[in-house]
Amino acid sequence: MARSCLAIILAAGESTRMNASRSKVLFPVGNLPMISHVISAAKAAGVGSVALVVGRDAEAVEAASRDVTDNLSVWEQKERLGTAHAALTAAQAIEEGYDDILVIFGDTPLVRSETLMQSRQMLADGADVAVIGFRTDKPHGYGRLIEENGELVAIREERDATDEERKIEFCNGGLMAINGHKALEMLRAIGNENAKLEYYLTDIVGIARDKGGRAVAVEASNRELIGINNRAELAEVEQLWQWDRRVDMMKSGVTMVAPETVFVSHDTMIEADVTIEPNVIIGPGVTIRSGAVIKGFSHLEGTTIGSDCTVGPFARLRPGADLQSGSKVGNFCEVKNATVGEGAKVNHLTYIGDASIGAKSNIGAGTITCNYDGVNKHFTQIGTEVFVGSNSSLVAPVAIGDHSYIASGSVITRDVPSQALAFGRARQENKEGVAEKIRARNHAIKADSGKPKK
């Protein structure tokens, strides 16, 4: 759309019903602050500039918003005098001149860019105001959208509606598009002659019509207009958002054995022919390539999983984990800031941190890269086709050459050359007959422990 557009994002509420130490618009949905979801939808609808109206936690709300847009101005609403008053807080931004103005609440993270685009199209077709509404068979408490001959003539609050008007199931969603060239004039004409002495944005419909303009309604799904006021509603929105993402992924070729138990993030990238078993949590920054299998109860974040890899069950991949094609990280293993080379295996009860494992190497059960000395992290380099025996400790910094062999139970503190066999353990000694004496002693101690003390 060639028309210019400003989005005014209202995010100045006190969030009292969240009972939280931060603004509600900072709470995440899909591991992204809800304010960021709203701004992303606005950008996808062709918004060029964002005017952010803030109150509580202004700096943090601004920072979260700047993560998704650069063209941002911030306006503080010092008094809470209604939605129209909040929109007018950004009057200077409106004065810069835009064809379209979108007014959006910062706590509606499910709003779709297609709906915002539709409201803008109504302005392009000649309307001065386009109110976004939804239909419900339980309209009690919502403002009703009163239409005549295809135009919106009023938004009637529940307490002011007639019996017939209360039967209307088309309700106000709060979001709207306004003719940018008339927006200031109409907003400034809104009065506060009501019980709360507040300036209500909904009054703009009557004002537009009084000035000879047209107002229309745009219908959206009720789910995308859900506003979050408490943590129960936050959980509801998270559930809806997660299900939408799962469905999109499954339609694109991802298999989810029990999709309701899989949780993804806003930036999760999963290619076709990936299989995800039950109870998998995918945090931010995860890419999974085709053919990979993520087994149950695994937790992934900040990681890249190559094609045909196998992860889990009960695996944890932390930021910086890079699994190359055909590699495997098995049950009860943890990988952090490390590359697992093509075809390499880290199968059981193992920690790999700050390391690189070469192609086709095998890391035995219970192996640990000892990367932390209490102050600094150190790197472990493991070459190609290395066999590391079970219960080995690799004390970084250390390098293990290609095709080498680490004996089980070793503590490796020095570099190992290629093709070498490394032992790092004490020599075994067998004491004949001593086991019987130790067993008798232990039984005596146990029997003595049960006697009363004198």
**Is 336 part of any known ligand binding site?**
yes
78 is in an annotated binding site: no
Tokens of 412: 């490796």
Q: Establish whether 248 is an annotated binding residue.
A: no
**Does the annotation mark 348 as catalytic?**
yes
Catalytic residue among 181, 348, 378, 403: 348
Please tell me whether 82 is known to bind a ligand. yes
With a CB cutoff of 8 Å and minimum separation 6, the contacts of 353 are: 334, 335, 336, 337, 338, 369, 371, 372, 377
Was 316 annotated as part of a binding site? Answer: no
**What whole-number distance in Å separates Cα of residue 281 and Cα of residue 313?**
12
Q: Is 149 annotated as a binding residue?
A: no
Listed residue (41, 67, 43, 39) closest to 53, CA to CA: 39
Does the annotation flag 310 for ligand binding? no
- CB within 8 Å of 106: residues ≥ 6 apart: 9, 10, 11, 13, 25, 34, 35, 38, 61
* 251 annotated binding-site participant: no
Please tell me whether 172 is known to bind a ligand: yes
Instruction: Indicate the helix (H) or strand (E) that contains 369.
Output: strand 368-370
Residue with tokens 């890079």: 322
Residue 179 is labelled as binding a ligand: no
272 is in an annotated binding site: no
Does 107 carry a binding-site annotation?
Answer: yes
Q: Residue 307, annotated ligand binder? A: no
CA dist., res. 349 & res. 378, Å (int): 21
Q: Is 130 one of the annotated binding-site residues?
A: no
Query: Could you tell me what percentage of the chain is helix, strand and coil, using 3-state DSSP and rounding each to the nearest 5?
Result: 25, 30, 45
User: What does the alpha-carbon distance between residue 368 and residue 328 come to, in Å, rounded to a whole number?
Assistant: 16
HSE value, Cβ hemisphere, 13 Å, CA-based, for 133? 26
Give the orientation angle of helix 58-66 with respect to helix 34-44, to 10 degrees: 40
Residues annotated catalytic, as ranges = 348
Annotated binding site for Mg(2+): 107, 229
Binding residues: 10-13, 24, 77, 82-83, 107, 143, 157, 172, 229, 318, 336, 351, 362, 365, 371-372, 390, 408, 425
Binding-site entries for UDP-N-acetyl-alpha-D-glucosamine: 10-13, 24, 77, 82-83, 143, 157, 172, 229, 318, 336, 351, 362
Residues annotated within the binding site for acetyl-CoA are 365, 371-372, 390, 408, 425
